[in-house]
Copies of this chain bind each other. A is one copy, B any other.
């Protein structure tokens, strides 16, 4: 005695109309009389009828669903991006299915297959660290499923991308340190095989060059993961130098925060003796004392932009495949860690 769902046909029978008429009435089709539309609407309400959207998807070949693949959901940056994606997608009538690759290319590849079968109409991706080939995405491309990458985007693979201008943001952050009077600026960077961290380093270098500062090798340190722990390690190295830097540009907020703490423990005053700038505007940056100057990477807006671009490509009539690269404007949030 499983209670069956009410279907279009049930409604049709009740009203003595054809299923097609009901369908059109619910769609507010111009060819259906106002009178009938009202009758249908009322009856639908009465019987608690709602369309079976799986059947609809099946028939129309449209699922109104987009997939999102991120390395991990519980990284604050990604959760903000997903939030932005969901927000835009919801308003546009799309649903969002999420997957974590957990940085495994195998899992990433399997997920693309699932999305293919599930007839996802488009996919938003942040690549995992392992990912160095893009065959699994090419397959989606061949099936005309639009893709949008964000943050960690593929290189040498034409695709839609949502990025920030890491180079320019780093440049401005470094220049800000120069403007507040720093003379010798260090850099705590990320893995140089990752595009965004390389770009941040380049931006740092460019600012030094512009202002005729020499680049001192022993002031530049690259970490593996930009982890809190690695940040402390580098900070200790900088602390041990006979002539310490008076400013540091860090490629993320974790290393910046741990550097602040290391210096403070060693009685080095922030920002008076060393000014510090981070990157990403993590919640911690507004809590640490002194509050951290950092680059707002506008993760939420990235998500919105990714969803907007994807949905536009899904709904575009033309089949002229073209890719877009959208750059989100960042802003330097100047706080106490750099205001001498």
Contact = CB atoms under 8 A, between A and B. Distances in A.
A86 B114 contact: no
Contact of A54 (B58, B72, B283): B58
Nearest to A114: B95
A236 to B, nearest CB: 16
A99 B139 CA distance: 28
Interface stretch (A77-85, A168-176, A306-314): A77-85
B74 A119 contact: no
A118 B65 CA distance: 10
A53 B117 contact: yes
Contact of A3 (B51, B78, B144, B283): B144
Interface in A50-84: 50-55, 57-58, 63, 65, 72-76, 78-80, 82-83
Given A76-B74, A228-B287, A287-B228, A86 B113 contact: no
A50 B116 contact: yes
A97 interface: yes
Interface string A117-147: 1110000000000000000000100111000
A197 to B, nearest CB: 21
Nearest to A50: B117
Contact of A284 (B51, B54, B261, B283): B283
Given A52-B119, A113-B50, A117-B51, A98 B96 contact: yes
B100 A86 contact: yes
Contacts of A228: 287
Interface string A190-219: 000000000000000000000000000000
Nearest to A72: B83
A69 to B, nearest CB: 11
B95 A100 contact: no
Task: Kindly report how many copies of this chain are found in the complex they form together.
Answer: 2
A285 to B, nearest CB: 11
A300 interface: yes
A289 interface: yes
A331 interface: no
A111 to B, nearest CB: 8
A74 B80 contact: yes
A257 interface: yes
Residue among A76, A83, A284 facing the most chain B CB atoms (10 A cut-off): A83
Interface of A: 2-3, 5, 48, 50-55, 57-58, 63, 65, 72-76, 78-80, 82-83, 86-87, 90, 95-100, 113-114, 116-119, 139, 142-144, 228, 257-258, 261, 264-265, 283-284, 287-289, 300
Given A54-B118, A90-B100, 17 more contacts: A50-B117, A54-B54, A57-B58, A72-B83, A73-B79, A74-B76, A76-B79, A78-B79, A79-B79, A86-B98, A86-B99, A87-B100, A95-B99, A96-B97, A261-B287, A264-B289, A284-B287
12 contacts: A3-B142, A3-B143, A3-B144, A50-B116, A53-B118, A73-B73, A74-B80, A76-B76, A86-B99, A95-B99, A97-B97, A265-B289
